[in-house]
Amino acid sequence: MSSRLNRLTGVFIGSHAVAQGHLTERELRTKGYRRLVQGVYADPALAVDHQLRCRGVALLLPAGAAIGGYSAAAWYGAPFAGPQDPVTVVRPAEVEWKGPRQVRVHRGPLSASDVERVDGVPVTTARRTAWDVAALEPLGTAVAALDAMVRSGAITERQLAEMATAGACRWGVSRVRRAVPLVDRRADSAPESKVRVALVLAGLAPVPQLVITHRGTFVGKVDLGWPEAKLAVEYDGAHHFEAEQIVRDDERYAALVAAGWRIIRLTSTDLRDLDGVVRRVRAALAA
């Protein structure tokens, strides 16, 4: 494979690279090139994540189609989907394309004004992406992505509200109108957003990123909190289990407890049972 191809993108269609003489079929199989989706490969030095898979799928897209939905949201501030999650593609109704197995294709109206090129990849605009995320994804996932898009400045809460109001006859409008009022730019992470949505729907609306003081002194900031009940919910991501972070967390939680606060700590396991999280919070608030 020529250095020119590596230097340009690091992602290529295997059959094209073989036909152009950059490498042989045997080299494609044996040199460690990473297959992103069927027929598309990447330089083995590149880490395979969802963004790289999107770049690979973009090489296959027919004219008029674009990376969209949750996949596109990452270009506007939302966290990228997982490496093994399907890449979302939006295509106009008149464009016939099913895509490889690892691609989720959504057919619907898509004009040229709905698409822009970002980092060389055709992606739906922030506004169109926001709509598709809200209409296609589970509520918690949708709100988490929209929270991040608003926080990054890619779109505003006012624009989301205007979009939901103006889209009376568009597909998915009921899902969009359910998601948009739940958006809160104060959210600091996708897990926090998902927990907050479950709590709000249960009638237990917390304050996101609550700053806690005691006798005029700053004590800490918690992911979600109920000031009157002095109850906080904290989500501990992977970095919270690193040695130095554990020490900092223990010191912070000790200060919060000394100030009269109770802390419910959650991990990724708890995200699989949000009903259980709601029950724990409800019981704590009632205690």
Domains of the chain and any CATH numbers: 3-48 (no CATH), 51-182 (no CATH), 190-286 (3.40.960.10)
Predicted model pTM: 0.86
Distance CA 241, CA 278 (A): 24
Distance CA 35, CA 56 (A): 9
Beta strands 34-37 and 66-67, pairing class: unpaired
Distance CA 28, CA 208 (A): 49
Distance CA 225, CA 121 (A): 40
Contact partners, residue 30, CB within 8 Å, separation at least 6:
none
Quick check: helix, strand or coil at residue 226?
Answer: strand
Quick check: helix, strand or coil at residue 147?
Answer: helix
Residue 237 has a pLDDT of 73
Which phi and psi (to 5°) does residue 231 adopt?
-120, 135
Helix (H) or strand (E) run with residue 70 in it = helix 69-73
**CA 161 from centroid of its chain's CA atoms:** 20
Please choose, from the candidates 90, 22, 73, 11, the residue with its C-alpha nearest in 3D space to the C-alpha of residue 48. Answer: 11
Q: Where do we find the tokens 């109206």? A: 109
Distance CA 102, CA 86 (A): 5
Residue 119 has a pLDDT of 86
Residue 5 has a pLDDT of 43
Distance CA 83, CA 102 (A): 11
User: Residue 47: exposed, middle, or buried by beta-carbon count in 10 A (0-12, 13-18, 19+)?
Assistant: exposed
Contact partners, residue 267, CB within 8 Å, separation at least 6:
235, 236
Residue 241 has a pLDDT of 52
pLDDT per residue rounded down to tens, the chain (287 residues): 444 444 335 899 999 988 888 888 888 888 888 999 999 999 988 988 999 999 999 999 999 999 999 999 999 998 878 888 999 999 998 999 999 989 999 998 899 999 999 988 999 999 999 999 999 999 999 999 999 999 999 999 999 999 999 877 788 999 999 999 999 999 999 999 999 999 999 999 999 999 999 999 999 999 999 999 999 999 987 555 555 666 677 888 999 999 999 999 999 999 999 999 999 999 999 98
